Structure 1
Amino acid sequence: MVLVNAIYFKGRWSEEFDKENTMEMPFKINKKEQRPVQMMFQESRFHLTYVEEVRAQVLEMPYADLELSLVILLPDDGVDLDSVEKTLTFEKFLTWTQPRRMTKTNVEVFLPKFKLEEDYDMGPVLQYLGMADAFQAGRADFSALSPEPELCLSKFVHKSFVEVNEEGTEAAAASAAVIAECCLVDEPRFCADHPFLFFIRHNKASSLLFCGRFCRP
């Protein structure tokens, strides 16, 4: 028996990038390694803040209907992304991205085009989080799905996909079971030419539909 759950999202930017402004630029993977990326550029008004706790900029880029946004957390150049991830919690994310903490201002935005696709074996993760009985015959209870008494999960896999380009963002995922005040200067620059975190957020509910990291083209 296989249980499948899927979600799909395709959104156009409220302010699209002009393809003519996209150019090749270096992306700094770490202090010693860099690779070329197709870097998009636009100058427009976006909500922006700076989080002193993790030394990172936070940029919100809304999609066309303003119901959803891409939120990017970009550490300062030289700040290790792993250290930011260890500090980050959902509660802190909500605090850092509160409307009153972000300022809408003209921003020069440099954002790489990227496409990510990944498969995950979620079995060990779920068991570590406490969902152990579901993987053990005789202890799992799937009686709401089948009268078979010995049913248990043998595997739980998750696959995700996200693509960001000049027009917007396309993302999908499927699972199967077998803050500091902002300190801004005129015309701030948001240049995502090194590892960053990204989140697709439902604005009214403050819920995250997708999240991920871009650290290596």
Structure 2
Amino acid sequence: MIKTVVLDVGETITRDDRYWASWADWLNIPRHTLSALVGAVVAQGRDNADALRLARPGIDIPAEYHARAAAGRGEYLDNGDLYDDVRPALSAMRQLGARVIVAGNQTSRAGELLRGLDLPADLIVTSGDWGVAKPQPEFFQRVREVAQADQDETVYVGDHPGNDLFPAKAAGLRTAHLRRGPWGHLWADAPEVVAAADWRINSLTQLMDILTA
């Protein structure tokens, strides 16, 4: 029986449209160009940040984060960045008695913004808050600590095989792979994803079937 549901953030809870558009505008390149570069690195199994390195060779990404914030163009999230199924699904899961946690690879600032959206979740935390990021095993050890349930009673939900599915499985958690976003769609039917996922879903609302099974 699943007692705790832990959800990734980017392309699971939030759309990445604004994120990449803001980077394209900051680097003064067409949005379509950066979007295409993101698609290219995803197809090659590389980190999304490599798209920024291709667009601006030698870029110091942390320094650019600080520069954007200083210019008043830092991170921003509002309800429009949430996928439509997020609030209904999270609310329904809590009504079923599940503990709901949001935990992904984001900055501490992104964590503050997410908590400001008053989502129906018991805990919202980021890699920036914890000082450790996916796919490091220590991140999923922290997930196990905050889950307040046994590892086989905890499911980690995400779109990214390398950051979400495989390390969560290695940590002994149950896993749900979400067909959403570039990673989720491109790798949804890969044999290694099919083998590692306890469940494969197209919407967060399908998590209710898992909780009531």
What range is the shorter-chain TM-score in?
A: under 0.3
TM-score normalized by the length of structure 1: 0.21
More strand by share: 1
Larger radius of gyration: 1
